[in-house]
Amino acid sequence: MIKLSPEELESIRRRIDFLRIEASDIPGFNSMTHSEYLSDRGRRRNLERLVENVINAAADIAKILLAAGDLPVPDTYRDTLLQLGAAGFLKSPLAEKLAEMTRLRNVLAHQYLDIRWPALRDFIKNAPDTLQQFLEVMEELLNQSD
């Protein structure tokens, strides 16, 4: 186990709080259809920004933990989350699910709307459970560091 400084603990706590709030908004998109995604620019933008926020927060937490543990911090979010698993902070299946979510950031930035939708539907369906598992592990780690 690593020893986190008070600043690192506070930084992770803020990100956990932010991630919990953002993740709680995901179910609000359960009823979104492909047609609505294509036609409602505001809702589409909200969903895409939500995805980005969630992924960024998880990756930021990972970076703080890796740096605190004097471990390499990879260049990509995907590799950073995988490294969190390799370093023993997360079980590999959870690290792999989180790492897979980072691919969606690239899809959002570089793919056409009709290609994005299947990945977003998958995110809406699966991200809440994955994020809840991540939050539970991170909170347990923080409780051990206090």
pLDDT digits (tens, 9 = 90+) for 93-124: 999 999 999 989 878 877 776 678 999 999 99
Q: Read off the amino acid at residue 120.
A: L
Question: 1 in a domain, yes or no?
Answer: no
Give the C-alpha distances (Å, rounded to integers) separating 15 from 33, 37, 44, 60, 138.
30, 28, 24, 8, 10
Question: 138 in a domain, yes or no?
Answer: yes
CATH code: domain of residue 12: 1.20.120.580
Question: 46 in a domain, yes or no?
Answer: yes
Question: 105 in a domain, yes or no?
Answer: yes
Domain count, the chain: 1
Supply the range of the domain harboring residue 60: 6-145
What global pTM score does this model have? 0.93
